[in-house]
Structure 1
Amino acid sequence: MFTRIMVPVDLAHADRLERALACAGDLGMHYGATVIYVGVSAATPGSIAHTPEEFGQKLAAFAEMQGQRFGVTAESHPVISHDPAIDLDPSLLKAVTDTSADLVVMASHIPNVVDHFWPSNGGTIASRADVSVMVIR
Protein backbone atom coordinates (compact mmCIF):
# COMPACT_ATOMS: atom_id res chain seq x y z
CA MET A 1 0.00 0.00 0.00
CA PHE A 2 2.76 2.48 0.95
CA THR A 3 6.24 2.43 -0.56
CA ARG A 4 7.88 5.66 0.71
CA ILE A 5 7.07 7.02 4.16
CA MET A 6 8.32 10.50 5.06
CA VAL A 7 8.94 11.31 8.72
CA PRO A 8 9.74 14.93 9.66
CA VAL A 9 12.20 14.97 12.56
CA ASP A 10 13.66 17.64 14.78
CA LEU A 11 16.96 16.20 15.96
CA ALA A 12 16.97 18.59 18.93
CA HIS A 13 13.77 16.98 20.19
CA ALA A 14 14.08 13.40 18.93
CA ASP A 15 13.11 12.10 22.38
CA ARG A 16 9.63 13.61 21.93
CA LEU A 17 9.09 11.85 18.61
CA GLU A 18 9.13 8.28 19.90
CA ARG A 19 5.50 7.42 19.08
CA ALA A 20 5.74 8.82 15.54
CA LEU A 21 9.09 7.09 14.96
CA ALA A 22 7.70 3.78 16.19
CA CYS A 23 4.58 4.13 14.04
CA ALA A 24 6.61 4.95 10.92
CA GLY A 25 9.02 2.09 11.63
CA ASP A 26 6.17 -0.35 12.14
CA LEU A 27 4.42 0.76 8.93
CA GLY A 28 7.69 0.60 7.02
CA MET A 29 8.29 -2.94 8.28
CA HIS A 30 4.71 -4.01 7.55
CA TYR A 31 4.64 -2.67 3.98
CA GLY A 32 8.32 -3.15 3.13
CA ALA A 33 8.45 0.60 2.58
CA THR A 34 11.44 2.92 2.63
CA VAL A 35 11.28 5.38 5.52
CA ILE A 36 12.70 8.83 4.76
CA TYR A 37 13.66 11.03 7.70
CA VAL A 38 13.41 14.72 6.79
CA GLY A 39 15.03 17.43 8.87
CA VAL A 40 14.89 21.18 8.30
CA SER A 41 17.78 23.34 9.49
CA ALA A 42 19.28 26.76 8.91
CA ALA A 43 22.56 27.24 7.09
CA THR A 44 23.90 29.05 10.15
CA PRO A 45 25.42 27.24 13.14
CA GLY A 46 22.87 25.85 15.57
CA SER A 47 22.56 23.57 18.57
CA ILE A 48 22.61 20.43 16.41
CA ALA A 49 25.21 21.26 13.76
CA HIS A 50 27.60 24.00 12.77
CA THR A 51 27.24 23.56 9.00
CA PRO A 52 24.64 22.17 6.60
CA GLU A 53 27.04 19.31 5.81
CA GLU A 54 27.32 18.38 9.48
CA PHE A 55 23.52 18.53 9.80
CA GLY A 56 23.19 16.19 6.82
CA GLN A 57 25.66 13.75 8.38
CA LYS A 58 23.82 13.75 11.71
CA LEU A 59 20.47 13.24 10.00
CA ALA A 60 21.94 10.37 7.94
CA ALA A 61 23.29 8.75 11.12
CA PHE A 62 19.88 9.14 12.77
CA ALA A 63 18.17 7.56 9.74
CA GLU A 64 20.63 4.67 9.72
CA MET A 65 20.04 4.06 13.43
CA GLN A 66 16.25 4.07 12.95
CA GLY A 67 16.54 1.77 9.94
CA GLN A 68 18.53 -0.76 11.98
CA ARG A 69 16.17 -0.41 14.92
CA PHE A 70 13.07 -1.26 12.87
CA GLY A 71 14.64 -3.41 10.15
CA VAL A 72 13.61 -1.08 7.34
CA THR A 73 15.36 0.66 4.49
CA ALA A 74 15.96 4.20 5.71
CA GLU A 75 17.03 7.38 3.95
CA SER A 76 17.65 10.91 5.10
CA HIS A 77 16.66 14.12 3.36
CA PRO A 78 18.13 17.28 4.89
CA VAL A 79 16.50 20.58 3.94
CA ILE A 80 18.37 23.83 4.46
CA SER A 81 16.20 26.90 4.97
CA HIS A 82 16.93 30.58 5.56
CA ASP A 83 14.52 30.61 8.50
CA PRO A 84 13.19 27.18 9.53
CA ALA A 85 10.67 28.70 11.94
CA ILE A 86 8.97 30.52 9.07
CA ASP A 87 9.71 28.09 6.22
CA LEU A 88 9.00 24.80 8.02
CA ASP A 89 5.60 24.01 6.49
CA PRO A 90 6.53 24.97 2.89
CA SER A 91 9.84 23.09 3.26
CA LEU A 92 8.07 19.95 4.47
CA LEU A 93 5.46 20.15 1.72
CA LYS A 94 8.23 20.46 -0.88
CA ALA A 95 10.03 17.50 0.72
CA VAL A 96 6.93 15.34 0.19
CA THR A 97 7.35 15.86 -3.54
CA ASP A 98 11.16 15.75 -3.52
CA THR A 99 11.21 12.39 -1.71
CA SER A 100 8.28 10.91 -3.70
CA ALA A 101 6.61 10.06 -0.40
CA ASP A 102 3.16 8.48 -0.47
CA LEU A 103 2.61 8.79 3.29
CA VAL A 104 3.73 11.29 5.91
CA VAL A 105 3.92 10.20 9.56
CA MET A 106 4.57 13.08 11.91
CA ALA A 107 4.37 13.89 15.57
CA SER A 108 1.83 16.32 16.93
CA HIS A 109 1.75 18.44 20.03
CA ILE A 110 -0.87 18.82 22.72
CA PRO A 111 -3.40 21.36 21.37
CA ASN A 112 -3.82 24.62 23.25
CA VAL A 113 -5.37 28.05 22.87
CA VAL A 114 -2.61 29.26 20.52
CA ASP A 115 -3.86 26.77 17.90
CA HIS A 116 -6.91 29.00 17.39
CA PHE A 117 -4.60 31.71 16.01
CA TRP A 118 -1.74 29.74 14.42
CA PRO A 119 -2.33 26.33 12.87
CA SER A 120 -0.14 23.42 13.90
CA ASN A 121 2.48 22.05 11.53
CA GLY A 122 0.72 18.70 11.39
CA GLY A 123 -2.61 20.33 10.59
CA THR A 124 -1.08 22.44 7.85
CA ILE A 125 0.71 19.48 6.25
CA ALA A 126 -2.42 17.30 6.50
CA SER A 127 -4.59 19.93 4.87
CA ARG A 128 -2.19 20.82 2.04
CA ALA A 129 -0.28 17.64 1.16
CA ASP A 130 -1.34 15.56 -1.82
CA VAL A 131 -0.62 12.34 0.10
CA SER A 132 -1.98 10.67 3.21
CA VAL A 133 -0.78 12.18 6.49
CA MET A 134 -0.84 10.50 9.90
CA VAL A 135 -0.45 12.93 12.78
CA ILE A 136 0.57 10.99 15.89
CA ARG A 137 -0.23 12.49 19.28
Structure 2
Amino acid sequence: MFKKIMLPVDLAHVDKLALALDAGANLAKLYKIPVVYVGVTTEAPSALGHNPAEFTEKLRDFADDQGVRHGIATDAKAYASHDPATDLDETLIGAVKETGCDLVVMATHVPTVVDNVWPSNGGRVATHTDASVFLVRG
Protein backbone atom coordinates (compact mmCIF):
# COMPACT_ATOMS: atom_id res chain seq x y z
CA MET A 1 0.00 0.00 0.00
CA PHE A 2 2.58 2.60 1.10
CA LYS A 3 6.20 2.69 -0.06
CA LYS A 4 8.00 5.06 2.33
CA ILE A 5 7.17 6.97 5.51
CA MET A 6 8.41 10.42 6.42
CA LEU A 7 8.43 11.21 10.13
CA PRO A 8 9.36 14.79 11.05
CA VAL A 9 11.21 15.01 14.38
CA ASP A 10 12.24 17.85 16.63
CA LEU A 11 15.31 16.52 18.39
CA ALA A 12 14.84 19.11 21.14
CA HIS A 13 11.48 17.56 22.04
CA VAL A 14 11.87 13.84 21.34
CA ASP A 15 10.26 13.07 24.70
CA LYS A 16 6.96 14.44 23.33
CA LEU A 17 7.07 12.34 20.16
CA ALA A 18 6.73 8.83 21.61
CA LEU A 19 3.27 8.11 20.19
CA ALA A 20 4.16 9.38 16.71
CA LEU A 21 7.47 7.50 16.72
CA ASP A 22 5.73 4.27 17.74
CA ALA A 23 2.95 4.76 15.17
CA GLY A 24 5.49 5.34 12.40
CA ALA A 25 7.54 2.31 13.41
CA ASN A 26 4.46 0.09 13.64
CA LEU A 27 3.29 1.16 10.18
CA ALA A 28 6.79 0.55 8.81
CA LYS A 29 6.72 -2.99 10.19
CA LEU A 30 3.19 -3.62 8.91
CA TYR A 31 3.99 -2.52 5.35
CA LYS A 32 7.67 -3.56 5.44
CA ILE A 33 8.79 -0.10 4.35
CA PRO A 34 11.48 2.36 5.50
CA VAL A 35 11.04 5.47 7.63
CA VAL A 36 12.86 8.69 6.77
CA TYR A 37 13.28 10.85 9.87
CA VAL A 38 13.31 14.51 8.81
CA GLY A 39 14.67 17.32 10.95
CA VAL A 40 14.87 21.05 10.34
CA THR A 41 17.60 23.07 12.02
CA THR A 42 18.82 26.61 12.05
CA GLU A 43 21.96 27.56 10.16
CA ALA A 44 23.27 29.24 13.32
CA PRO A 45 24.81 27.31 16.21
CA SER A 46 22.25 25.81 18.59
CA ALA A 47 21.98 23.31 21.42
CA LEU A 48 21.49 20.59 18.80
CA GLY A 49 24.66 21.35 16.87
CA HIS A 50 27.24 23.97 16.19
CA ASN A 51 26.45 23.72 12.49
CA PRO A 52 24.06 21.87 10.15
CA ALA A 53 26.56 19.03 9.65
CA GLU A 54 26.66 18.33 13.39
CA PHE A 55 22.85 18.40 13.53
CA THR A 56 22.72 15.98 10.58
CA GLU A 57 24.99 13.57 12.47
CA LYS A 58 22.72 13.69 15.54
CA LEU A 59 19.64 13.10 13.39
CA ARG A 60 21.32 10.17 11.66
CA ASP A 61 22.25 8.67 15.05
CA PHE A 62 18.64 9.10 16.16
CA ALA A 63 17.35 7.36 13.01
CA ASP A 64 19.83 4.51 13.45
CA ASP A 65 18.73 4.08 17.07
CA GLN A 66 15.06 3.98 16.04
CA GLY A 67 15.89 1.37 13.41
CA VAL A 68 17.60 -0.89 15.94
CA ARG A 69 14.95 -0.29 18.61
CA HIS A 70 12.02 -1.11 16.31
CA GLY A 71 13.65 -3.46 13.82
CA ILE A 72 12.91 -1.26 10.81
CA ALA A 73 14.86 0.27 7.93
CA THR A 74 15.56 3.95 8.52
CA ASP A 75 17.16 6.95 6.92
CA ALA A 76 17.65 10.56 8.01
CA LYS A 77 17.36 13.80 6.09
CA ALA A 78 18.27 17.11 7.69
CA TYR A 79 17.39 20.52 6.31
CA ALA A 80 19.00 23.80 7.33
CA SER A 81 16.91 26.94 7.39
CA HIS A 82 17.58 30.57 8.20
CA ASP A 83 14.36 30.60 10.28
CA PRO A 84 12.97 27.08 10.90
CA ALA A 85 9.82 28.36 12.64
CA THR A 86 8.84 30.39 9.57
CA ASP A 87 10.09 27.93 6.94
CA LEU A 88 8.92 24.67 8.55
CA ASP A 89 5.83 24.05 6.42
CA GLU A 90 7.57 24.72 3.11
CA THR A 91 10.59 22.67 4.19
CA LEU A 92 8.42 19.68 5.12
CA ILE A 93 6.45 19.97 1.88
CA GLY A 94 9.72 19.99 -0.07
CA ALA A 95 11.01 17.04 1.96
CA VAL A 96 7.96 14.93 1.08
CA LYS A 97 8.61 15.54 -2.59
CA GLU A 98 12.40 15.12 -2.37
CA THR A 99 12.32 11.87 -0.38
CA GLY A 100 9.49 10.33 -2.38
CA CYS A 101 7.53 9.49 0.76
CA ASP A 102 3.87 8.69 0.26
CA LEU A 103 2.91 8.62 3.95
CA VAL A 104 3.74 11.25 6.57
CA VAL A 105 3.35 10.39 10.24
CA MET A 106 3.71 13.41 12.48
CA ALA A 107 2.97 14.53 15.99
CA THR A 108 0.40 17.25 16.52
CA HIS A 109 -1.24 19.12 19.34
CA VAL A 110 -4.81 19.49 20.49
CA PRO A 111 -6.28 22.31 18.38
CA THR A 112 -6.84 25.70 20.01
CA VAL A 113 -8.38 28.99 18.92
CA VAL A 114 -5.02 29.97 17.39
CA ASP A 115 -5.42 27.17 14.84
CA ASN A 116 -8.29 29.13 13.29
CA VAL A 117 -5.77 31.83 12.37
CA TRP A 118 -2.64 29.79 11.62
CA PRO A 119 -3.15 26.39 10.03
CA SER A 120 -1.34 23.39 11.48
CA ASN A 121 1.87 22.05 9.96
CA GLY A 122 0.18 18.73 9.24
CA GLY A 123 -2.73 20.46 7.54
CA ARG A 124 -0.38 22.35 5.24
CA VAL A 125 1.56 19.18 4.37
CA ALA A 126 -1.70 17.35 3.64
CA THR A 127 -3.04 20.07 1.36
CA HIS A 128 0.21 20.76 -0.51
CA THR A 129 1.52 17.24 -1.22
CA ASP A 130 0.18 14.00 -2.67
CA ALA A 131 1.15 12.09 0.50
CA SER A 132 -1.31 10.72 3.02
CA VAL A 133 -0.82 12.40 6.40
CA PHE A 134 -1.39 10.67 9.72
CA LEU A 135 -1.47 13.14 12.61
CA VAL A 136 -0.78 11.66 16.04
CA ARG A 137 -1.94 13.51 19.14
CA GLY A 138 -0.30 12.98 22.43
Residue matched to 2:47:
47
Q: Distance in 2 between matches of 1:99 and 1:18?
A: 23
CA RMSD of aligned residues (A): 0.8
SS of the aligned residue for 2:100 comes to coil
Query: Are the counterparts in 1 of residues 97 and 129 from structure 2 also a CA contact under 8 Å?
Result: no
TM-score (norm 1): 0.97
Q: Distance in 1 between matches of 2:97 and 2:127?
A: 15
CA-to-aligned-CA distance 1:52-91 (integer Å, 9 cap, x gap): 1100000000000111111100000001111101100000
> Aligned partner of 2:15: which letter?
D
Q: Distance in 2 between matches of 1:110 and 1:46?
A: 28
Is the counterpart of residue 86 in structure 1 residue 79 in structure 2?
no
SS of the aligned residue for 2:7 comes to strand
TM-score (norm 2): 0.96
Shift of 1:111: 1.0
Q: Distance in 1 between matches of 2:47 and 2:73?
A: 28
Q: Distance in 1 between matches of 2:103 and 2:97?
A: 11
Unaligned runs of 5+ in 1: none
Which structure 1 residue ranges, 4+ long, deviate > 2 Å from structure 2? none
Shift of 1:5: 0.3
Is the counterpart of residue 101 in structure 1 residue 95 in structure 2?
no
> Aligned partner of 1:46: which letter?
S
SS of the aligned residue for 2:37 comes to strand
Between 1:121-130 and 1:19-28, the stretch displaced more is 121-130
SS of the aligned residue for 1:105 comes to strand
Shift of 1:131: 1.0
Q: Distance in 2 between matches of 1:27 and 1:11?
A: 21
